Structure 1
Amino acid sequence: MTQTGSDALLARMMQLHPKVIDLSLDRIRQLLTRLGHPEAALPPVIHIAGTNGKGSTLAMLRAGIEGAGQSAHAYTSPHLVRFHERIRLAGDLIGEEALIALLQEVLDINGAEPITFFEITNAAAFLAFARLPADYVLLETGLGGIYDSTNVVDQPAMTVITPISKDHEAFLGDTLAKIAWSKAGIIKRGVPCVVGPQPDEALEVIEQTAARLGAPLLVHGQHWHAWEERGRLVFQDESGLLDLPLPALRGPHQIQNAGAALAALRHLGFDEAACEAAVTGAEWPARLQRLTGGRLARLAPDAELWLDGGHNPSAGEALAEFLASLPARPTHLVCAMINTKDAGGYLAPLAPHAASLTALTIPEETASVPGADLAAKAATCGHDARVAESLEDALAAITRTAPEARILLCGSLYFAGHVLRQDDESLATQG
């Protein structure tokens, strides 16, 4: 099928400027200078880094801000179905014509200068955010922090660091301390930073960075606490107690993501109504998303069908905790992963909770682990593993013998994007 519009432009950009990871701020700073420094003309920025929970925390922050009658731009990555998901302008996904115009403007101004795909798209987002009024900008790092191309805002209103674990070790380092050093690079002098639950090794680095920069910290377990009690979310900080509904986003790990969002909102002066909107109104596709009405659900009409894009060992542990919290029901995994992830570390925690695992190769994804290799790795982790040629084949095989099973599609955001493209594109762009 011939690509048109922004899809064609993005494909051409990918050929000219490959999707490489090149950790540096020099190129994007030079480009932003030629664009007139849009990064210096943004509404107040909340900058978010971490290994797990960045997107969920951002979604709750946006729901809280909008619940208070204010507006927020948002920049997230990667997208699931269409690039437009990455740029949200005052609540709405960027339109096709606006996206094409912004990308072309940035490409024209950059000319033949070396640049990466991510830097071009980040610069386009900054231009859009600077030109359209809003009360806040919610900015999610793509990789790391200190050298991430979003880290060009010198004075954000607040920073947030969600839980840190090992991921992208080839780029960020092979210890939690090295990874934390990169993530803590978003901390700015004198700017308050909300810190989610952290391993001691990571928290020590964050605290040292904040002390050096005189940045006030709001640390989980010290300055704020969040827990589930009698089917409610209880949050406590120095301003008092909140008794709220459980987060709309599923999974026990969302309690602490909600806590980080609530700590940020309270520090920024938002009231209890905004805090309740944060936890009840957030939507974030492919994070323990229940698939109920699309084509895939019709292929498995009696099954309980879930989708999750987590892909590292910490995500595997969180997913295992979620499965353990559900009513007893045979659970079958359909899994696909990319070759930069720790497949064994992700799969091992899930083995006690899975009746079977069907491995797939992600279609049209060159970095996908071949299904046969993933099945072999899963078997070494204790899974009853097999291979299928397609998602449809996997669902058919499971439902032939277990029509009322719980089926979890998991292992990669790239796989989640494939799933949603097969199902219903509106699922990938909700919220």
Structure 2
Amino acid sequence: MNPAWRRELRPLLLLLATALAAGYFFNEFSFSFAFACGLYILWQWLQLYRLHHWLQQGQSTQLPSTYGIWGSIFYQTQRLQQRSQKHQQRLQAIINRIQDSTAALQDAVLMVDSHGNLEWWNRAAGEFLGLKAPVDVGQPITNLIRNPLFKGYFDSVNYDEPLSIPSPVNAQLQLQFNITLFGRKDRLILVHDITRLKQLEAMRKDFVANVSHELRTPLTVVSGYIETMDMAADSLPPRWGRMISQMAQQSRRMESLITDLLMLSRLETSHQNQPDSVSIRSMLETIVADARALSGDRHHQLTLKVQSDDQLKGYTDELHSAFSNLIFNAVKYTQDGGEIQVSWSRHPDGVRLCVKDNGPGIDEHHIPRLTERFYRADPSRNNQTGGTGLGLAIVKHVLLRHQAELEIHSTLGQGSEFCCHFPAERCLTDTEPTI
């Protein structure tokens, strides 16, 4: 038997023995036994009251001392209390250390509960977003950051991509928000200051645009003189003719590069005007006719299949540039006599253009980087075909301006397929599919 129970049993037996002796002496066994039981119950009630009173006081006072089983209960309770206090102190030290370390970060850190209410933030968050303690604690984050883009991003619960918006307290400060879900839909928000990156990006865009414009004039002069000399090539020595031909070829290559750079610059810097109603069938027929002319004596088998006479809400010049880049690339990189299929079709989630060929294909590890500027999966092939490495970058920017996506499927030796997916809201007509 447990020693605590033995200590509790001894006074109980002594009390009962005393009650029996008193009952025998006074010849009142029932009264003596009832009185002894009452005393014992009163004692138990008193110990229970002392424990309850100590618990009600928040365990802030010293635990009362006693003996027997209650002494063991009080002792074990005190041990649990001390152990709990040590754990709380340890956890509080960890929390304080985390808060101190996050407070020292240059990036802002915020914690938001599952209801969207602000729980905690570091010093940088207060500077970036104008938060003030303790007034803003428990306030909805969307009430403190009053930006429709942020509210839509926060409520969407789709945080795969970060959000970039100006600071609510300083419009010159550009901030990038990254939100991570944890726990029961609580949110951890990291905010980076990307003002410097935005400035560098703007400087790069201005530099490319200015250099492209400045190069166009002298290149036009050089190309003019080269064309003049080329017209008189018959009267020049054969060696000069070959040099002039190479100069003319590289001059055209430079003109194509500058044209693509100017197009990219315009896509990046221009504001979106009112979109037009673009006839896709007529545009694709024109581009495919130009592609057949580009193919020439290479005898590619180009087929065009338009399943619906859709009018697409967009920008005519940009869409023409994107579609022609995809179709002309298929002509350039597909072997002589190869098959190229251009199709326009409607789907439940929108419409799409697909350009499929049976050319050499592209290695899988190149595909994620194909839309990067000047990226070349096969440098030697690009030199032969005269590519600038900017075509797919232009396609990517045009599709972004039309809320569309580019999908690339390719296998070495089996050809490639480039598909542009446009959302349904971009389609202006609702005609029955026709072949």
Category of TM-score, reference length = shorter chain: under 0.3
The higher-RCO structure (CA 8 Å, 6+ apart) is 1
TM-score (norm 1): 0.20
